[in-house]
Structure 1
Amino acid sequence: MRLRNSFLYSVSALTLLGSASAFAQEAAPAAGVEQLEEVVVTGIRQSLERAAEIKRESAQVVDSIVAEDIGKFPDATTAAALQRVPGVQVTVGANNEVQGVLIRGLGDILTTLDGREIFSTTGRGFAVQDLPAEALSRVDVIKSSTSNLIEGGIAGVTDLRLHKPFNFNERTFVATARANYPDNVDEVNPQFGFLATDRWDVGNGEIGALLNVTWYKNDFDRPISFVAERRSLVGAPHGETGVLAPNTFGGLNDYGWYERPQANLAIQWQATDNLEVYLDGLYAGYRDEQQSAFVATPFFFAETQLESLEVDESRCFLSRVTPGGFNPNLNDLGRKDAEGNPDPNFDTDTLCNMESARFSNVRGLTSTQAKKQDVDNYLGAIGFKWNNGPTSVKFDTAYQRSEREFSNVIVDIGKHITVDIDTDVNEGGMTWHPGNPLGTEGGWFLRNGLNQNFEESTGELWQTRLDFRHELDGAFGFIRAVEAGVRYADRSALFEQAQLNVGAPGGDLATSLDGLPLPADFLVRSPGIDRINNGASVLLPNPDYLRSAAGRDVLRQIYGAPTGNPAFQPQRRFDASEDTYAAYFQLDYSVPVGGLTIDGLIGARPTRTERHIEGAGVVNDVVVPRIADTTDTEVLPNASARIDFNNGFQARASYAKTMRRPEFNALNPGLNYIVATNPSVINSGNAGNPNLKSQISDSYDATLEYYFGPSMVSAAVYYRDLKDRVITAPNTETIDGIDYNISRPRNVGAATLQGIEVSGQTFFDFLPGAWSGFGAFANYTYADTEVKGDDVLAGFPLQGVSKDNFTVGLLYDKLGVSGRLVYTARSRYYDADMTGTNVARPIEADRVNDLEYIPTVLNYVRPGGRLDFSIGYDITDAIRVDVGGSNILRNRYKSYFDVDWLNRDFRYDDTIYTLGVRVRM
């Protein structure tokens, strides 16, 4: 049996059938349904046909993406490929990788690797970009739940599948090489992969072995400009009423490199006709050295002068304003006079947008955040599959360890400069520094302080499961099979951190760099940002020096900090252990009705979680240990039905109750905070909430599907009723007389999620000759979400959810040529709740004096879309070449504060071109 290696591209599966898998690693067929074999499928047409078959025969509501050939996934990363799936939305990370996968608007996804739970360090989820797409044979996005599936994903399950030796019927060697060219960096980056597999007869049995190794390294640069949080210009030193101005204007480049080594090994032994024993191993690593190079010009220091000002009086709103120009927080609103009467600390003003201005004597700043990160994921598993007639038993036990080390050292420098700004240019801001003083030698001083952050985190998981299925062969009427199983998981998570901020000697802008014991190359040039000085570079501290042990110690001596890395702090540590027990029982049924058949599943999964977590807080400068023990018990039922009309039409309906356990860092009973050395930055901290409840979802799905030849169309409706949704947001808290923005997670009560998914695919066989190789696909998802209850976000949609999301693609597959041109777009969404911060905001006139009301402020991301292409040619049966490009229309991330003319970020997402070759023997 050869490897089924097909590229399934963006096909809506939404498929729920009569039989669930007896083991999540490998779906068992329903009675009367032929098992889908793993076979080699090359070309886009065959892969789409195969995709429709998988969709039609799957046990749950599933969308699949399958590699077009060995080492040929449809996109450079798993997350990039997933964005084509109906109902899936993604974001772009600081290193320009597509990440942040949401399924139908929710990020609470359980990730499995060949059916086993997999995670990243102390989190619940797994960063799918940490497993290179080249290593994968297939990814299933499971949107509905059945009792045999591991609990933990209210959004769904993403199952990553690796190649296995028994999927090949002959010795196979495949080598791939690719050159990737990111336009922002203007460098060529290497990518390599190798797979070798063979099978041998041994006595009455057979053994197969497979080794797959991949590696790639990427340079990246992601320029960003930002117009910071707004405040009234009444704040000192300006005293101008009625003007809404940014606290600062700036930008940054996230740039550097990262690499991802990966290796996986699989051994299968068919010991007898009835028994297969297997062994799996995986290593997936991540390394990076990157830096955030900041440029900032804050406008509210005492010596800063406002030289000129233009205000747009058509863009105004009513706002509360404190004497400092901010929005009042709860402390301001709750203030009382000497007699105990309300004496809130704010005035009311109509604020109009500062369109442009010139400020002089501004404390210009450049800053280097020098970061280094190492991540290692190890997983090993062993198990067996035994079949004897109608009975099958599967056993699997696995161990995973995930480790992460991270460091970040920050040094700021600056000088006084003049700044011109424009807050509204093509949905973003722009700034100019006459003479580019931040890009010239001389006159530099230390600013703010030396900030150090060191983290280590480790997660471990032992998981064991036993699954049973017995076919009844009509012995009990409409019950076709009985399925049952048990699972035990022992999870631990340890996080340790040290943060140490030390102010600049003598204070801000008091110590000149001249004369300090620093090397001649301490200042280096950063990449430019188009919207700051028209892309001119600036000087900033050398990130390599900040990453070196010797350089750090020199800086520590300058700032008066102890040499050596600071010790981990108990108030920034948590240690968690968690035991999970689960079982399931499920019936596979089939009922004849009027010449048709209705089949499906009915089952339940009881689960119990016992958790112990240790943290610490600081009370009156004393570290106080805090311990929390919790126990949760849930029963998760499911029921489904499918009717096949025997003419290509199928209809399905399902219900399932699903759950998501809180993140370990959210459960941490400790509290930590830190005073910022930068006076333009608000003091901050974070705290956990050991009383967080698991999120629960009642999930309903219904689909109608039609298959005709190589084509299909599908429509689906879904509804999710969510309870105890967890949201983390900052609020102002006063500790020892100092205000901090403390971020705490909370359950927001309830939320609803409902929507429609429509998709289709076809090839134009009716066209003559080479034209018949063309095809097309498209999908559209509508997601309507709303937070319920009395939370501050009640009435708003869920964070990160676009209401509209669509993909359209043109395909070609004939005469050895295959290609695709695909456009994916999403409507606006918000990615941050800023309500608890001090940003100025609109307020209704009749609520100004409501001292318990703080208007909600959200950071919205404007609509956007990405156009990608790839085209390949088979030179021979063994050699294939291809070229491709992602984001070729140069989509940008653009955001705004609550009101669409309050521009915030303008981020330059990269365009990447690729050239690759694959050799198969």
Structure 2
Amino acid sequence: MLASVSLLLLSAHGAAVAQDVAPPTTAQATEKVDAANKAKEDQGTLVVVKGYRASLRSAQQIKRKSDSIIDAVVAEDIGKLPDVNAAESLARLPGIQITHGSDEGSGVLVRGLPDVATTVNGRDISTAELRRVQLQDFPSGALAGIEVYKSGSADLLEPGLAGLINVRTRRPFDFKGFEIDGAIRETYNDQNEKFNTNGNLLITDRWSTGVGEIGALLNVSYTEQDYRNAVRWATGYVANSTADPALPRYPDQVGVYMDTGHRWRPSANATLQWRPNDQTELYADLLWQAYRAEHWNDWAMAPLWSGTKTNVVMQEGTNQVASMTNTGGDPIQFYRSTGSDRTDTQQIAVGGSFTSGKLKLSTDLAYTNSLYSNSSWSLDSALKQSYPINVSYVSGGGAAWEAVGVDVSDARNYIWRGYYESIYKVGGNGIQWRGDAVYDTDWGIFKQIKAGVRYSDRNAFYKANDRYGWTLPLAIPFDSIGVGELTLTQDTFRGGEQGFRSYLQPSYDGIRGARETLLAETRAALATRGNAPLDLAKFQPDLMPYDPYRSFTAKEATHTGYVQGRYETQFFNSQVDGNIGVRVVHTVGKYSGVSKVTWDNVETAVPKSVTQNYIDVLPNLSMRLRPNDDMQIRLGITKTRTRPDFGQLNPALSISQYVEGNTPVPDHADAYGSAGNPDLKPLTSTNYDITWEYYPSQNTSASVAVFYHDLFGFINNYTTRTNDPVYGVLEVSRPENAGAGKIKGIEVAGQTFLDFLPGAWNGLGVQANLTYIDAYNELPDKLDGAGQMVKIPGVSNWSYNLALFYEKGKISTRLSYNGRSRWINSYDNRSGGWEGEGTEAVNRLDYSFSYSPNDAYTINFDASNILAKPFHNFHEYEAGKRFVRDIRDEGRYYGLSVRFKYQ
């Protein structure tokens, strides 16, 4: 949050830490901490620290004191980095990898795995029909801290295979009294030349009354972002890939794509706390998160599957084409897809705790509701005639092309190709309750016993529909259909390799605002075509209804119990402590959908339902050895499992017959389909962890972690072709459980301020971490190639972070660099052998500078994605043979902010 905002040092359980002294035992440490904090609060003071140094110290304390293997970032860390959301802040931790899209960090992987459970203040939360929350929906300015649990314990909500991420919001008892904190930030994107405004405001107070101490807090935040990424691409279909090896091979489509949009996220959280006496505390939490977006995506494709190839140049020593000219092929095709998105997630919770002597009881009851909807409208066009295409597959690292002789600014060169609409809505709600008891014992080496129960009941649904009217054969002039003025798309390519960079399109409002006109034009065109009765019938209603055959529902309940014991003893001259426990989860679920087949313009449907009922037993054992006050060694063995997402369990199958003519597809299947998989099993893993941690001072630490996951059933989507006796060559994409898998790796991390340097130089600091992961699993046993070991999709072998700090007096600054090596995205066997899609290494450089003239204000400048290195995907169609799929130019962002505090 604010550079000058007071920051409590928080332990992994939220208790304020009064001093950085390694205690003899964890239980004694907790007692000392609680006593010190109580004494401070009674005197009307709190332990206060500021700045980068304080935030690193606080994160170090969380890691050091936790019973689990954990990494953390805290409020100063998040607030001072040039990060818009929580996901981007997590990328700076060891073993954390994230994906980027549309100029935003999103998907989070922990030690190579995407299956991460998410909680807010220790409470389960999820977005729409998912089992987890979208971490990018948490604005960084609204958070107190984020903790990544890389090993679980029985008292934690059961983590996914990858672990658990807990997001902490602020509460009024974190502050000493009345306080207003706020920030306003203006950002600039150098790629689309747009400005955006972001801000947050926190108001809190606490009072001593006749009924005890009462605190209230309200925190509101608003973030927005305009983006436009420019992409030059080649298809994953490689011509002649299954033919004579002597034939030249090349992607048979090339194109450009501009991903454009405006997103904004308002959010708010409020908390009431009441401490009627020293034994009792009650609270009520309210959280609201919203996501809004308008987007318009421009796409152009030059077909190369037909026509005459000349000027062919081969890549040296291969049968792969480097460059060529294609003449007389199909004309270039275009679309502008527009749409809007809306997410609302609300969670309300009440709970409290009661302490009597050695016994502490706590409870929490929460209700969550989340809804996501999307509507899109796409207008398609094409050139009236074919033009020669000069293409290079190796220009600036990928495909670049130009159309010879076309005037892209002349509307007379364009015809209308089709109109598309879609609607989509998913949602979920649920209630959860937990009760926990903690008892400090005198039972030999066992010093504490925890036990608890939990109940949850989740519901989820999905519904959608779409319709498309294909008008290309009618050759209707594109400027005659009433969508307003056609203008050239904005050119945001950074380099000079790409020749075809811009073309005519209507505006966003010209498509969305002209919907009634487009409906009328589409109906008239489809009636003229005469061979599209099913398409024409779909366009009769003005408001498209949800398709009853494209829906699913899920209802799932879990009953959980756990018991965990904490032990402490001596082993030679080392202090030893740890936990041993077990968590038992009973899951009962029902998942329903409707299969749909579209064949010869006739639709048929078959309802399907499936139930699951199973029990997971999840033991855990941890040990911490402390040879001295500065060093500790952790050992951990845990078992984890992750249930499939609700959508993956959808029993329905959707099959559509291939219709010749819409978009010619070489080597096409007779039918295409997609499906869920009701036979999916939870992912299970037995996890082994060893860490060495060294804390020579409050601001210095070093650690090495070695981990090994023995897993089974990793889920990924696979696309396969089969010879079906009814549908012929059928290509279906569906999730499948892979076989056995292994993930092993090592993390090395360290941080320090160079306090030993003289004068102003001792304000320098450094933080660095490096992670290596080796992750493989077997291909599913139901598919060709079963048993073949392949890299787990989404996992980079290497990820790394380096941050340099300087903090002295009123100035603080940070330069941070992070990256990850190449990874595989997916596998398929369309061409009879296993192919892979992947992404090349990604590196980012960010910078921030803060100046605090006094304790009330801070001025901050930041820059993110300074290097703006293009993002590369590739397609490997044979072992060792690949083409670059796309090269994406992303925006640099510059921000200027003012932060303030009033007490």
Offset of residue 258 of structure 1: 0.7
Alignment of 1:496 with 2:474, yes or no, is no
CA-CA distance at 1:665 after TM superposition = 0.7
Distance apart, 1:158 and its partner CA? 0.7
- Deviation of residue 564 (structure 1)? 1.8
Aligned-residue CA RMSD (Å): 2.6
The one-letter code of the counterpart of 1:602 is I
Match of 2:719 among 730, 736, 745: 730
1:668 offset after TM fit, Å? 0.3
Alignment of 1:892-903 (within 5 A): 892-898=870-876, 899=880, 902-903=883-884
* TM-score (normalised: structure 2): 0.89
Are residues 1:185 and 2:185 paired? no
Map 1:532-681 onto structure 2 (within 5 A): 533-534=498-499, 536-548=501-513, 549-560=515-526, 561-618=539-596, 621-674=603-656, 675=658, 677-680=662-665
d(CA) in 2 for partners of 1:481 and 1:431?
68
- Which of 659, 677, 694 is matched with 1:706 structurally? 694
Q: Provide the TM-score with structure 1 as the length reference.
A: 0.87
Task: For 1:30 and 1:622, locate their aligned partners in 2 and report how far apart those are by CA, in whole Å.
Answer: 65
Q: Report matched runs for 1:292-303 at 5 Å.
A: 292-301=297-306
- SS of aligned partner of 1:56: helix
2:343 is equivalent to residue 375 of structure 1: yes
Structure 1 pair 231–253 and aligned structure 2 pair: CA distance change class (3 A): same
Given that residues 269 and 286 in structure 2 are in contact (C-alpha distance below 8 angstroms), is that contact kept between their aligned partners in structure 1? yes
Letter in 2 for 1:562: Q
| Distance in 1, Cα, partners of 2:229 & 2:459 | 35
Aligned partner of residue 48 in structure 1, secondary structure: helix
* Residues 177, 918 of structure 1: 8 Å contact kept: yes
Residue 192 (structure 1) shift = 1.2
Q: Does 1:836 align with 2:806?
A: no
Corresponding residue number in structure 1 for 2:20? none
Which amino acid letter does the alignment assign opposite residue 418 of structure 1? P
Matches within 5 A, 1:275-674: 275-301=280-306, 304-316=307-319, 352-415=320-383, 416=385, 417-447=387-417, 449-472=418-441, 474=442, 476-504=443-471, 508-513=472-477, 516-521=480-485, 525-529=489-493, 533-534=498-499, 536-548=501-513, 549-560=515-526, 561-618=539-596, 621-674=603-656
Counterpart-to-counterpart distance in 2, 1:424 and 1:522: 33
Query: 2:821 aligns to what?
Result: 827
Cα deviation digits, residues 426-446 of structure 1 (max 9, x gap)? 221111122453343212112
**Alignment partner, residue 143 of structure 2:** 136
CA offset digits 1:435-474 (Å, max 9, x no partner): 4533432121122x333221011111211000100001x2
Counterpart contact for 2:680–2:736, Cα < 8 Å: yes
Q: Deviations over 1:850-895 (max 9, x none)?
A: xxxx432111211231111111010111010111111101122112
**1:48 and 2:50 correspond:** no
Return the offset for 1:766. Answer: 1.5
Aligned to 1:54, what secondary structure does the other structure show? helix
Counterpart position of 2:83: 75
Asked if the contact 1:243–1:354 (Cα under 8 Å) also holds between the matched residues in 2, the reply is no
- Cα distance in 1 between the residues matched to 2:615 and 2:155: 17
Q: 1:769 to 1:782 in 2, by over 3 A?
A: same
| Partner Cα distance (1:361, 1:200) in 2 | 77
Residue 615 of structure 1 deviates from its aligned partner by: 0.3
Query: Which AA in structure 1 matches 2:808?
Result: K
Per-residue CA deviation, residues 501-523 of structure 1 (Å, 9 max, x unaligned), is 3322xxx3532226844143256
CA 908–607 in structure 1, closer or farther in 2 if over 3 Å, else same: same
Per the TM alignment, residue 789 of structure 1 is displaced from its structure 2 partner at its CA by 6.5
Match of 2:746 in 1: 756
Tell me how far apart the structure 2 counterparts of residues 728 and 262 of structure 1 sit (CA, whole Å): 33
Matched with 2:124 is: 117
Say if 2:484 and 2:510, in contact at 8 Å, map to a contact too.
no
Equivalent-residue separation in structure 2 for 1:96 and 1:264 (angstroms): 26
Kindly state the Cα deviation for residue 739 of structure 1 after the two structures are TM-superposed. Answer: 4.7
> Would the aligned equivalents of 1:355 and 1:422 in 2 still touch at CA under 8 Å?
yes
Instruction: Classify the secondary structure of the residue corresponding to 1:80.
Output: helix
Counterparts of 2:728 and 2:70, CA distance in 1: 51
User: What is the deviation of 1:661?
Assistant: 0.3
Aligned residues of 1:3 and 1:167 also touching (Cα < 8 A): no
Residue from 792, 807, 810 that aligns with 1:816: 810
Q: Does 1:229 align with 2:217?
A: no
Instruction: Identify the residue that residue 220 of structure 1 maps to in structure 2.
Output: 227
SS in 2 for 1:800: coil
Q: Deviations over 1:691-738 (max 9, x none)?
A: 111011101111111111121110110010111111211122567646
Match of 2:894 among 886, 910, 913: 913
Contact 1:6 / 1:67 at 8 angstroms: preserved in 2? no
Check the 8 A contact 1:484/1:585 in 2, yes or no: yes
Contact 1:800–1:830 (CA<8 Å) still a contact in 2?
yes
Task: Give secondary structure in 1 for the equivalent of 2:509.
Answer: helix
1:67-216 equivalent positions in 2, closer than 5 A: 67-68=75-76, 72=80, 75-93=83-101, 95-216=102-223
Instruction: Kindly provide the amino acid, as one letter, of the partner of residue 897 in structure 1.
Output: H
Deviation at 1:147, TM superposition (A): 0.3
Q: CA deviation at 1:170?
A: 1.6
Whether the 8 Å contact between 1:667 and 1:689 is mirrored in structure 2 is yes
Q: Deviations over 1:825-850 (max 9, x none)?
A: 211111122x2334xxxxxxxxxxxx
- 2:72 aligned residue: 64
The CA deviation at 1:181 is 1.1
Q: How does 1:237-252 map to 2 (within 5 A)?
A: 242-252=247-257
* Structure 2 residue 12 is the aligned partner of structure 1 residue 5: no
Return the alpha-carbon distance in structure 2 between the equivalents of residues 267 and 757 of structure 1.
40
- Residue of structure 1 equivalent to 2:532: none
> 1 CA distance for matches of 2:634 and 2:398?
46
Query: After alignment, is 892-901 or 79-88 more displaced?
Result: 892-901
Across the two proteins, how many residue pairs are aligned to each other?
Answer: 843
Q: 2:756 corresponds to which residue?
A: 766
Write out per-residue CA displacement over residues 548-591 of structure 1, whole angstroms, 9 at most, x where no aligned residue: 34345345434433242322122210010000110100001111
Distance change >3 Å, CA 527–CA 454, structure 1 → 2: farther
Structure 1: gaps spanning 5 or more residues: 18-27, 317-351, 839-853
Cα offset, 1:528, TM superposition:
4.6
2:325–2:388 CA contact under 8 A, matched in 1: no
The 1-side partners of 2:752 and 2:203 are apart by 34
Distance change >3 Å, CA 73–CA 764, structure 1 → 2:
closer
Distance in 2 between residues matched to 1:122 and 1:16, nearest whole Å? 29
- What's the secondary structure of 2:829's corresponding residue? coil
Matches of 2:132 and 2:576, distance apart in 1: 36
For the structure 1 residues 384 and 234, does the alpha-carbon distance in structure 2 shift closer, same or farther, using more than 3 Å as the test?
Answer: closer
Secondary structure at the counterpart of residue 86 of structure 1: coil
Q: Tell me, which stretches of 5 or more residues in structure 2 are unaligned?
A: 15-24, 38-45, 527-538
Distance in 1, Cα, partners of 2:792 & 2:78: 38
What residue in structure 1 maps to residue 529 of structure 2? Answer: none
Please tell me whether residue 889 in structure 1 is matched to residue 864 in structure 2. Answer: no
**C-alpha distance in 2 between matches for 1:439 and 1:35:** 71
Q: CA offsets, 1:178-200, max 9 Å, x none?
A: 01111211111100111100011
**Aligned residue for 2:536?**
none
